[in-house]
Amino acid sequence: MDVSDLINELSSYHPLALNMCDHCRSFSQVMKIPESRENFQEDTLYIGTVSQAKRHLSNINFLLLLLIRDQESIPSGWVPGNTIYLFDRMLDSEKLLLQCRSILKTYDAYLHHSSNLLNLMLTGSSLESMVDAAALILQNPLVVVDLNFKILAFSHEQPLSNHQWLRAISRGYCSFEFIAEFQQSRQVQEASSSKRPFSVLLSDGMQICVSKMMFQQQHSGYLIAFEHKSPFSWMNTDLMVLASNVISYIVKTQNELDRTIHGYYGEHIIIECLMGEFKN
């Protein structure tokens, strides 16, 4: 993991960059500053206080350090050869250590799941297999719809239990009531220019998390997640974006639609008719 990505996650603590060294920017583990200089390891982020570092780090270069400023003076010899960020003295080093490990764990999980999804895509897996894999990763039931709100796929490994959606799946299309409410919701309109997932609270009390499916800069549908065993607050939204992009690729390559005689893509016509926007 690159230290700049970690610092972005820790921005609420207002870290101060004392120095950046090109030879020590990435890490794969997080540890406390060791008592002996012989115990320092490569590819490691070290966390401690300035006073700890002063006792153990004289004349050592190429270290990646997050230090809590428990005293003001910083040895000038540290700066040129190391990457050092300083944090306020009120921050607890154990808390910082645990948070950095949690961020790294989330990052490693993202890389692992990303690799699995991309491998499924490259090996020509079906849309249904991809949706099931994404649902297991996100720990939420998923439904894939095109721009007509035709249901293209849904997860079996994380099944839906809502009766209205089960009926919609059996029909193959979302209900008109859902389509109208979804299209007119404030969250959908505000997210029109964003690629990030967004939540929509429906009138029946159900909350869904939605990611627009994009392929070659074209909007092709929606990946819809439902809260079940895992709340949305636990969801890695970066993984949902990746899943929607991979699923969009499969949808577009397997189900390319032809233009109608009016020059419209078939996937837009029903929605334009329902919303009174279709022009002959």
The pLDDT tens digits of the residues spanning 205-223 come to: 888 999 999 888 888 899 9
Maximum pairwise Cα distance, the chain:
79
User: Sheet harboring 29-32: ordered strands across?
Assistant: 16-19, 83-87, 64-68, 44-49, 29-32
Length of the chain: 280
The pLDDT tens digits of the residues spanning 31-81 come to: 998 877 777 888 899 999 888 888 777 667 788 999 998 876 776 666 778
The pLDDT tens digits of the residues spanning 82-113 come to: 899 999 888 888 999 999 999 999 899 888 88
What angle in degrees, to the nearest 10, is found between the helix axes of 127-138 and 93-122?
170
Name which residue leads in pLDDT, 278 or 25: 25
pLDDT of residue 268: 53
CB neighbourhood size of 236 (10 A): 17
pLDDT of residue 259: 40
